[in-house]
Amino acid sequence: MSLREFFALHRQELLLACNSESNAETEIAQRARELCELLDEPPDTDRRSSRHSDGTALAGHDPGIKRVRASIERLVRRSRTPVLFLGEVGTGKRRAARLLHASTYPDGELFELINDQQLPLLERRLAVLRVPSSALAIGGLSVYVHELGDTSRAVQAALAKLLREHGINCRLMASSQEPLAHACREGFLRSDLAIAFSATVELPSLRERLAALPELIQELSSPARPPLVFSEAALHVLKDHAWPGNLIELSRLVERLQWLDRVGSIEPEHLTELGHRRSGAVLKLTPRGIDLADLERQLLLQALQLTDNNRTRAARLLGLTRDQIRYRLTKFGLELGPEEDRAAE
């Protein structure tokens, strides 16, 4: 009997043991909690397997996304090769990683490593993975790391150790907004990790996929709400937009439009929030002048909003360094907490 079959058979008893106050300190309760964690079952865990995630396929038939699919198909056969997903904020790096995992290990688990606190849980999963007869070892494990260049030294040490371990059915995947050589030069990333992640899948920006906008909008739309219909003028506005937030920005726009109280098709007046244009000047200086400090503050706020308050990514959007971002946060009284600084992509 496999580990998952055992859990399915005794699921209720295990969950009761986890939640029972009288058994909280017993060995059986501890083992039950560990088993629940290993299988991503409640309580207090999210199921992260790609088999239970919506939208693992990458929509569109444009050349850029076709290249991504072709790269993923080639990497499926190299199941232990570490893979780096490279692209701007919101281009679908996590979604591509889920697709690669589901294609490589359809019966395996996907573990998303976000911070140091998850390292003990990862080690427990690896301990099970080292048992050849366990369901996890047979199914395989994918470990996905958000923004490899921004990870702590503890996470990087754990990844380097895992890369040296042979004979286990495990693949490392990571994301980055820029080539890892940049993070190495700045001292943020170990050089051995940069070398290990030699297989790269580059995700195109939404600006390169404008022909796929109708398909992407359809994929991102909620089936519970009326479908979106755009006038020709509105489609022109969408295609002339710079999309600095890529699919994340498009997803938020689609969600807002679907809940908009309107009659008929989407018109340009429904898209006034789209302020970045690919062509022409972003703004025009009038004879009355402009408040440059206010403009700087607005751009800083937009960059933080598009990156979920991550200073490193906001700095990249604005062409600044992290120190310059910190200075401006203090200057405008917008200092963020440390937990916000490391928000996931």
Using CA atoms, how far residue 204 sits from 3, 64, 65, 96, 186, in Å, is: 39, 6, 7, 12, 25
- All residue ranges of the chain with pLDDT < 50 are 1, 19-26, 40-56, 280-281, 339-345
pLDDT value, residue 280: 45
Q: Considering only CA atoms, give the Rg of the chain.
A: 23
CA distance 168 to 188: 28
pLDDT of residue 38: 52
pLDDT of residue 235: 92
What would the 3-class secondary structure string for 249-274 be? HHHHHHHHHHCCCCCCCECHHHHCCC
3-state helix, strand, coil in the chain (%, to 5): 50, 10, 40
The reported pTM is: 0.66
Domains of the chain: 3-38 (no CATH), 50-204 (3.40.50.300), 207-271 (1.10.8.60), 292-341 (1.10.10.60)
pLDDT at position 52 is: 32
Residues facing residue 173 across a β-bridge: 83, 144
- Give the tokens for residue 103: 């294609």
Q: Residue 5: exposed, middle, or buried by beta-carbon count in 10 A (0-12, 13-18, 19+)?
A: exposed
pLDDT at residue number 342:
43
